[in-house]
């Protein structure tokens, strides 16, 4: 083999091995078997990044349907998990809106709301607004079609005002 | 043996062309040569060619050196870099990949400067405009691997946190600073580097490791069973690692020193 070919082989080997070392320290697997799990996760993540960059990214429809079914069955924790798996890059406004809505519905209470869930919902709906300001939900079951409406509802829920003590508020309905 | 060769009494009397001795022909010999008296038989030529093939050629030696420098050395250094930050958790046995502190990069840079300054590695012999771009790039890759391994060696030998981290770091800084101003030749630097690493290894993986209390039980139980160790562990903020960590780090340090021993001073002799 010519020295030139050996130098090229050495360069390639050093680059590949060096990247592997960097990846190991970045992924930090805990066991030997964890290495393959982390590698699969990294490949999936890289594939999603590449798909997003090239405009070929698609939401996993099967997972989305499962999430939607869980959402309609009021199993919001499972719904969020399914929606997150359907949209791992978190760039699809529709899926992200369902996640925000699930925080609202789970946190809503006739007497008092769950502030923690409402805060997470508020963060989530702000993400949806950042992704698509013109987004409008096409689901008839969602009474709040626009992210700004949902944001207003969440903000109202977090704010303590004299109006909160109005007994007539007990008759209000969840959106 | 031909008459021409017999007439050659001393090689020193002969003119040298490109490092080879060329015998001067006497006019009488030349006449005989032209008449074809001393021409070897074809079978003799074949035997001579076979003997030449059997000899280790300069090409083969150059190839071996290229394999060593461009394939083996990066592999050795990167393996050392991979293992240098690896720790094994005491309780769970899980891997912990400890990333190097910023000070490790500073020490590694100082160490490389020392390598260049003392001539252990000749900068001009590794990077030169007389070398091809490919060779310069390949050399840069080897040097990057050496730098990564050096960083990870300091990461391996300096305690991770607490008072011990600062004390050992200061000792390293002091030693490297003194070496910078006092060590002038490569052999002394190599010896001093080995001694420095051995001392740091013994401090961390023998002295401090033996002062660290076991991870078993809660702190009250540990304090009850071995109050001194527990107190030292708490005061020096020593992390609890499995004893396998010491073995791995010994292997990593040995690999690094082996790689350092194999690094040639210059590579401009074997141009690709």
The DSSP result for A136-152, as a single string, is ----TT-S--SHHHHHH
In this complex, do A7 and B95 lie within 8 Å of one another by their Cβ atoms?
no
Is A22 part of the contact surface with chain B (CB cutoff 8 Å)?
A: no
Instruction: Check residue B12 and give its pLDDT.
Output: 46
Measured between CB atoms, does B227 come within 8 Å of chain A?
no
The complex scores an ipTM of 0.72
Question: pLDDT tens-digit profile of A3-33?
Answer: 889 999 999 999 999 999 999 999 999 999 8
Q: Does B47 touch chain A (CB under 8 A)?
A: no
Burial class (CB in 10 A: 0-12, 13-18, 19+), A119: middle
Contact yes or no for B71 and A13 at CB 8 A: yes
Residue by residue, pLDDT tens for chain B (272 residues) are 444 444 444 444 545 444 445 555 555 555 555 555 556 666 776 766 666 555 556 677 778 888 999 999 999 999 999 999 999 988 888 999 999 999 999 999 999 999 999 988 998 889 988 889 999 999 999 999 999 999 999 999 999 888 889 998 999 999 899 888 887 788 888 888 899 899 999 988 888 887 777 767 677 777 777 778 777 777 777 787 888 899 999 999 999 999 999 999 888 765 54
Say whether A9 and B71 touch across the interface (CB within 8 A): yes
pLDDT in tens, A37-91: 999 888 888 887 788 788 788 888 999 999 999 999 999 999 999 999 998 888 8
Do the Cβ atoms of B128 and B269 come closer than 8 Å?
A: no
B133 touches chain A (CB under 8 A): no
Q: Mind telling me how many Å the CA of A35 is from chain B's nearest CA?
A: 11
Taking the C-alpha atoms of residue B70 and residue A3, their distance in angstroms, rounded to an integer, is 9
Q: How far is CA A58 from the centre of its chain?
A: 14
Phi, psi of B21 (to 5 degrees): -90, 130
B163 reaches A (C-beta below 8 A)? no
The whole-model pTM stands at 0.67
Cβ separation B142–A10 shorter than 8 A: yes
Q: What is the pLDDT of residue A139?
A: 87
Give the gap in angstroms from C-alpha B253 to the nearest C-alpha of chain A: 17
Question: Which positions in chain B touch A23 (Cβ < 8 Å)?
Answer: none
Residue A64's Cα: distance from chain center in Å?
A: 12
Our CA-based measurement puts residue A39 at a distance from the nearest CA of chain B, in whole angstroms, of 16
- B-chain CB neighbours of A20 within 8 Å are 82
**What are B42's two structure tokens?**
């074809």
Q: Does B269 touch chain A (CB under 8 A)?
A: no
State the Cα–Cα distance between residues B71 and B65, nearest whole angstrom: 10
Sign of the alpha-carbon dihedral angle for A141, A143, A145, A147: negative
Secondary structure class of B259 (helix, strand, coil)? helix
Closest partner residue to A14 (CB to CB) among B67, B74, B92 is B74
Chain A residues touching B137 at Cβ < 8 A: 7, 11
* DSSP count for chain B of H helices, then E strands: 14, 4
Under 8 Å between Cβ of A89 and A52: yes
Q: What percent of chain A has pLDDT over 90?
A: 46
Measured at the alpha carbon of residue B170, what is the angle toward residues B152 and B88, in degrees to the nearest 5? 35
Whether A12 has its CB under 8 Å from any CB of chain B: the answer is no
Residue tagged 């005491």 (tokens) = B90
Cα separations (Å) of B113 from A13, B116, B176? 26, 5, 10
Chain B positions in Cβ-Cβ contact with residue A28 (cut-off 8 Å): 95-97
């Amino acid at each position: 083999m010519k020295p030139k070919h050996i130098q090229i082989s050495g360069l390639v080997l050093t680059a590949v091995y060096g990247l592997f070392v960097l990846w190991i320290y970045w992924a930090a697997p805990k066991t030997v078997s964890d290495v393959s799990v982390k590698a699969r996760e990294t490949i999936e993540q890289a594939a999603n990044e590449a798909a997003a960059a090239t405009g070929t990214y698609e939401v996993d429809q099967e997972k989305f349907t499962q999430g939607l079914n869980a959402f309609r069955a009021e199993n919001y924790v499972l719904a969020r998990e399914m929606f997150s798996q359907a949209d791992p890059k978190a760039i699809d406004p529709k899926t992200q809106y369902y996640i925000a809505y699930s925080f609202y519905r789970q946190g809503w209470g006739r007497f008092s709301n769950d502030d923690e869930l409402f805060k997470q919902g508020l963060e989530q709906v702000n993400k949806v607004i950042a992704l698509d300001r013109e987004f409008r939900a096409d689901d008839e079951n969602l009474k709040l079609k626009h992210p700004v409406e949902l944001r207003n509802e969440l903000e109202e829920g977090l704010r303590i005002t004299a109006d909160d003590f109005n007994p007539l508020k007990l008759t209000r309905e969840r959106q | 043996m031909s008459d021409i060769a017999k007439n050659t009494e001393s090689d020193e009397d002969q003119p040298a062309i490109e490092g080879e001795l060329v015998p001067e022909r006497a006019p009488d010999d030349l006449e005989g040569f032209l008449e074809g008296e001393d021409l070897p038989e074809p079978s003799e030529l074949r035997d001579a060619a076979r003997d030449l093939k059997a000899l280790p050629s300069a090409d083969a030696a150059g190839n071996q050196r290229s394999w060593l420098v461009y394939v083996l050395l990066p592999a050795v250094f990167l393996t050392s870099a991979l293992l240098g930050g690896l720790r094994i958790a005491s309780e769970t046995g899980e891997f912990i990949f400890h990333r190097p502190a910023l000070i490790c990069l500073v020490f590694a840079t100082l160490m490389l400067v020392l390598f260049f300054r003392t001539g252990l590695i000749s900068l001009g012999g590794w990077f030169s405009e007389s070398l091809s771009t490919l060779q310069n790039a390949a050399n840069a890759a080897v040097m990057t691997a050496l730098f990564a391994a050096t960083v990870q060696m300091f990461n391996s030998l300096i305690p991770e946190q607490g008072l011990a981290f600062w004390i050992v770091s200061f000792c390293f800084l002091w030693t490297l600073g003194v070496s910078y101003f006092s060590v002038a030749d490569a052999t002394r630097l190599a010896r001093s580097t080995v001694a420095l690493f051995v001392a740091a290894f013994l401090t961390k993986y023998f002295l401090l490791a033996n002062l660290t209390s076991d991870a078993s039980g809660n702190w009250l139980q540990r304090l009850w069973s071995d109050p001194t160790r527990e107190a030292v562990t708490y005061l020096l903020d020593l992390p609890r690692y499995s004893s396998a960590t010491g073995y791995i780090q010994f292997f990593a340090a040995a690999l690094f020193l082996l790689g350092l021993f194999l690094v040639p001073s210059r590579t401009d002799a074997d141009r690709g």
